[in-house]
């Protein structure tokens, strides 16, 4: 499953945001995502992608930055499993 799809589904379920309106350049502020909701979203990504974010996650400004953060953790987890 693609990271953007997981984010869109989560925000649609929680905030009733139209998934098509969630683009990489959409800011968290535009979506009214506070720190608590961001943590919930990160937990959702951990569950969906079977990874654990073991270090501090920088606060993204937009969905694109969030995707980059999540994809980085996914890649690191896959590399660790192979190594």
- Judge contact between 51 and 75, C-beta under 8 A: no
pLDDT digits (tens, 9 = 90+) for 21-44: 999 999 999 999 999 999 999 999
pLDDT band at 83 (very low <50, low <70, confident <90, very high): low
List of domains in the chain: 3-82 (1.10.1200.10)
Residue 62, beta-bridge partner list: 27
Q: Is 16 left (phi over 0), alpha (psi -120 to 50) or beta?
A: left
Q: Which of 21, 3, 1 is nearest to 64 (CA)?
A: 3
Give the CA dihedral 28, 26, 16, 4, nearest 10 degrees: -100
Provide the pLDDT for residue 54.
Answer: 73
**Rg (the chain; Cα; Å):** 12
Q: Distance from first CA to last CA of the chain, Å, rounded? A: 23
Provide the pLDDT for residue 18.
Answer: 97
pLDDT digits (tens, 9 = 90+) for 51-72: 888 777 788 999 999 999 999 9
């Amino acid at each position: 499953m693609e990271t953007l799809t997981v984010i869109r589904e989560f925000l649609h379920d929680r905030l009733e945001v139209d998934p098509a309106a969630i683009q990489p350049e959409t800011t968290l502020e535009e979506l009214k995502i506070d720190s608590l909701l961001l943590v919930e979203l990160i937990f959702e990504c951990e569950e969906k992608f079977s990874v654990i974010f073991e270090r501090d996650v920088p606060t993204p400004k937009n969905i694109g930055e969030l995707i980059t953060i999540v994809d980085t953790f996914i890649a690191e987890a896959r590399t660790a499993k192979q190594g």
